[in-house]
Amino acid sequence: MAPLPVSPLARALPDLPPVAGVRFGAAAAGIRYVGRTDLVMADFAPGTTVAGVFTRNKCPGAPVDWCRAALPDGSARALVVNAGNANVFTGRAGYEATQANAADAARLVGCAASEVFLASTGVIGEVLPYEKISTALPGLYAILSETGWADAARGIMTTDTFPKAAVRETEIGGVPVRIQGIAKGSGMVAPDMATMLCFVATDAALPPSILQPLLAAGTNRSFNRTTVDSDTSTSDMVLLFATGQAGNPPVTTPDDPALAAFATALNDLLLELALLVVRDGEGATKLIEIQVKGAVSDESARKVAMAVANSPLVKTAIAGEDANWGRVVMAVGKSGEPANRDTLSVAIGGVWIAREGTVVPGYDETPVVAHMKGPEIEITIDLGLGNGIGTAWSCDLTHGYIDINGSYRS
């Protein structure tokens, strides 16, 4: 597959300083791609804890199974990620690949295989040539560096057109801590627990019992509110590693007030990474934010927002810069959530087009047309039924999506 043009919604990679206790690196193992990095490794300081959330797709890849089995121990010393081959629907061969590569990494780092976390992304149904990973790992381990984050962000890309990363500085109990993460994702992206690959590390000292609820809550506010194409991948995960090098005071409960700033920073970082994935949606030219209010509950509002975000008719109208609010009404009605056409109102770009079931008298389309030509589109829906609110993010659907996915394996 030829390199794709960079998304018009791309954001530049930020400066990625070291996170104490983390070393990253990337190498070319020749798994599928020619002339580019496709293998990433990280090692973590002894005592590093880990949390994770995984795809709910019922046909998950072997690496997802491996990580789910390893997660309850709450300890991590290494991460190995390959791009180009998802190691999904590969039967016994997939299981053997995870066993072999976890053992390979464990020998290098000097840890138990259960402390090695694995991820794969790429084509489904092709046996992973894990021997290529085994051959490349020793050389890769030798070049791991505290400054290897940017290389890692590029090394996990598949149809991504730009690397994705974010960083936050915060504190726990008055002690400075850093949170930093990388992500990949462009297509086969729909929320059902993690929607791509995302790896976040912090130098904070936090036990798994604290990390896991923090990550779950943050993911529900971010990755679970985004969609590119409504397809939930077989391989997706978000992993959060805490090296403990910051030396912050002990925290024993998720609701400890000392965690407030950290939780806010983590949520903010996860949302930024999630929106970077949407910005790189295959063929995307516009980022869409759908805000729903007046629902019977927050959960109902979320479902309505996602119905609009996933609607091909809404997404193609936005690609064509057509303020077709009738398609928004259709998507609300098909969501299965409580809605009443006679209390429904729709705004685009802050301009109310329809109120209480009909077009606003004297509606001037001029500012809405101008808004539709921009790169970021805002849709607001008021159901007029209650106090529930919810937000979802999506992108437009263009011919580019078909072009990319029609030639994905070529």
264 shares a domain with 160: yes
Asked whether residue 317 is assigned to any structural domain, the reply reads yes
Exposure class string for 127-147: b at 16+ Cβ within 10 A, else e: ebbbebbbebbeebbeebeee
How far is CA 296 from each of CA 16, 54, 354, rounded to the nearest angstrom?
A: 42, 29, 20
Residue 162 domain flag: yes
Q: What is the pTM of this model?
A: 0.93
Q: Are 305 and 260 in a shared domain?
A: no
- How far, in Å, CA of 324 to CA of 321, rounded? 9
Query: Do 29 and 127 share a domain, yes or no?
Result: yes
Query: Which residues does the annotation place in the binding site?
Result: 158, 184, 195, 282, 405, 410
Q: Roughly what angle, to the nearest 10 degrees, separates helices 130-142 and 91-109?
A: 20
Q: Residue 25: beta bridge partners?
A: 41
Give the Å distances, CA to CA, from 269 to 166, 330, 388. 6, 33, 25
Q: Specify the number of domains making up the chain.
A: 2
The token duo for 362 is 């004297």
Last residue of a domain, one of 255, 279, 303: 279
Which of 248, 279, 310 marks a domain boundary? 279
Whether 397 maps to a domain, the answer reads: yes
Domain containing residue 125: CATH number: 3.60.70.12
Instruction: Flag residues of the chain having pLDDT under 50.
Output: 189-195, 410
Asked if the structure places residue 343 within a domain, the reply is yes
In the prediction, which pLDDT does 194 show?
35
Same domain flag for 103 and 219: yes
148 and 54 within one domain: yes
Residues contributing to the annotated binding site for substrate: 158, 184, 195, 282, 405, 410
Do 86 and 225 belong together in one domain?
A: yes
Last residue of a domain, one of 251, 279, 307: 279
Q: What is the DSSP string of 264-314?
A: HHHHHHHHHHHHHHHHT-TT---EEEEEEEEESSHHHHHHHHHHHHH-HHH
- Catalytic positions, written as ranges: 195
Structure tokens at 41: 């490794």
Tokens of 230: 């409504």
Task: Provide φ and ψ at 102, rounded to 5°.
Answer: -65, -40
* Six token digits for residue 407: 């030639």
- Relative orientation angle of helices 208-220 and 260-279, to the nearest 10 degrees: 50
Does one domain contain both 268 and 353? no
- Are 336 and 393 in the same domain? yes
Same domain, 140 and 271: yes
Are residue 270 and residue 295 in the same domain, yes or no? no
Tell me the residue range of the domain where 332 lies: 287-406
CATH number at residue 352: 3.10.20.340
H-run or E-run covering 366: helix 366-372
Q: Do both 232 and 310 map to the same domain?
A: no
